[in-house]
Amino acid sequence: MPNSPRSAFAARRFVSPAFAVAVVLALVSIGAAGAAPSAPVLIAPGEGASLEALPVFAWQPVTGAERYEWEFSADAGFNSTLESRSTRNTRATIKTTVTNGRYYWRVRGVTAGGELGAWSQTRTFQMAWTGRPALLSPAHGATLTYPMDAFKLSWSPVPGASEYLVRVATDPALGSVVWAQGPVKTAATSFTLSSPLAPGTYYWGITPLDAEGHAGPASPVASFGWSWPSTTTTEFTDLAAAPEIVDPYLAWARVPGAAGYEVEVNSSFDWAPGSKVCCDPLRFGSDATTIGTSHAPLEQLDNNTYYWRVRAIDPGGNAGLWNGGPSFAKTFANVPPTPAPSVKNLRLRDNLGDALSGVDPGTVSYPLTTGVPVLAWNPVPGASGYQVDVTLHDGSGCDWSYPGFEHWVKYTSTNAWTPLGSGWGGVKPFPDPLAVSSDGITSLEPGHSYCVRVRPVDRASTS
């Protein structure tokens, strides 16, 4: 039986010398486990190495070490340790990236009982991420023409770069970046614009960033020109056939790349801001007056000579060149070009008939007599209303500055007018809640003669 004294004796009896040596060696090894491990010998990286990327840190195993403590620091005294870990391996790596500079590392063994061994020799290395992008396109000094040339910045990849910082600026130092939010980040090695630039000279450069956002060496700065051929031809058309009115219609040829157009109409040939009479932007934050290639002023202009110009606006809100249009004279019922008189067929009628309609005024014997005077005239093309001026005839002429109670200056939207009655009996011909209108204290006097003149108005009366 295996557990009998004889069996145990037999086992002792047949122990070979080799087994005895093995037992002794095992006892020696076990006895040494309590001693502190010696300092590990470092393998890689070599002392003072200059590296583009963080390496694998390696050391030789140490007898008696059950694990290792490894430290990585930015100073020789390991007061600002960046990484510290315990590992059973003889290799260590860092998951993050670090900035360029000098770094220090060391390692020591630890027994299974927690006895700390001596630190290895401290090694240093220089983190030197020196790869910089090479700018590929556009070529330095090239001119890009919008919208014919595609805008694309491209550069060579940099090993170890996670992203790139793109700067486009109006100065060689790249201080005046064209985007309000500052430089743009991209993981690609090319960049395109979402909206066009204003015409001019621009400078650009690329800075690589590692996975932690640490910047590497920037590329050289290159320049390019951005141009936009935005000249166009202009045309003025009077939409009104009648000589009494000028209805301006401004047109121009399409400018490639334009998202809209800014139109200005000014009474001053030097485009004084205070003399601008047209036109308002379509929306807040934009200078564009229209997205089409023509424009007609929304409000009637005063009689005057006007100058106009137009310029294209690109999708980014950048303006092209001003293009002047032919000047034009705005007139309304002016004599000339309107044949005299400006208001034709001005006549007196009454509530019974219109006997003088179409009659030559030179053949009418004045004054005319009626108890219900109604003034009438032919409509004037383009008129939105009329100003009627009725004043007393003093026997020698028309006193248009007469201050008395027999002078009317009224506005009407029709081509007829009559003074309101006065001195009524207070009895309405039919029930109505509204008050009876009157001219107040202004009234016609029996036996008096009156002068009449009418002029057209091309906008709504505010009186």
Residue from 214, 455, 223, 250 nearest 338 by CA: 455
> Residue 329: left (phi > 0), alpha (psi -120 to 50), or beta?
beta
- 332-377 per-position pLDDT tens digit: 988 888 888 999 999 999 888 888 888 887 788 877 888 889 999 9
Angstrom CA distances, 196 to 177, 219, 320, stand at 14, 24, 12
Is residue 15 a part of any domain in this protein?
A: no
Is residue 7 a part of any domain in this protein?
A: no
Phi, psi at 133, each rounded to 5°: -70, 150
Is residue 392 a part of any domain in this protein?
A: yes
Is residue 8 a part of any domain in this protein?
A: no
pLDDT at position 111 over 50: yes
Last residue in a domain, options 299, 330, 361: 330
pLDDT at position 5 over 50: no
In which element (H, E) is residue 124 found? strand 123-127
pLDDT of residue 426: 76
- 382-427 per-position pLDDT tens digit: 899 999 999 999 888 898 988 888 899 999 999 999 998 777 777 8
Residue from 131, 105, 113, 123 nearest 35 by CA: 113
Q: How many domains does the chain have?
A: 4
What CA–CA distance (Å, rounded) separates 165 from 214? 11
Is residue 123 a part of any domain in this protein?
A: yes
- 122-155 per-position pLDDT tens digit: 999 999 998 999 999 999 999 999 999 988 999 9
Q: How much is the CA Rg of the chain, to the nearest whole Å? A: 50
- State both tokens at 152: 């694309």
Q: CA 248, 250, 251 angle in degrees (round to 5)?
A: 150
Last residue in a domain, options 186, 212, 227: 227
Task: Examine the domain organization and report whether 313 and 382 are in the same domain.
Answer: no
Task: Examine the domain organization and report whether 291 and 359 are in the same domain.
Answer: no
pLDDT at position 20 over 50: no
Residue 322 lies in domain: 234-330
Task: Examine the domain organization and report whether 159 and 221 are in the same domain.
Answer: yes
Angstrom CA distances, 188 to 182, 219, 222, 262, stand at 18, 15, 19, 37
Last residue in a domain, options 82, 102, 127: 127
Q: How many residues does the chain have?
A: 463
DSSP string, 162-220: SEEEEEEESSTTS-SBSSTT-SEEESSSEEE-SSPPPSEEEEEEEEEE-TT--B-PPPP
User: How confident is the prediction for the chain on average, in pLDDT?
Assistant: 88
Task: Examine the domain organization and report whether 373 and 282 are in the same domain.
Answer: no
pLDDT at position 460 over 70: no
pTM recorded for the entire structure: 0.68
pLDDT of residue 425: 73
Task: Examine the domain organization and report whether 292 and 260 are in the same domain.
Answer: yes
pLDDT at position 256 over 50: yes
pLDDT at position 116 over 90: yes
The CATH number given to whatever domain includes residue 315 is 2.60.40.10
Q: 194 or 20, which is more confident?
A: 194
- Specify the range with the lowest mean pLDDT, choosing from 65-69, 89-93, 338-342, 434-438: 434-438
- 203-248 per-position pLDDT tens digit: 999 999 998 899 999 999 999 999 999 999 999 999 998 988 999 9
Share of residues in the chain with pLDDT > 90 (%): 64
What CA–CA distance (Å, rounded) separates 463 from 453? 18
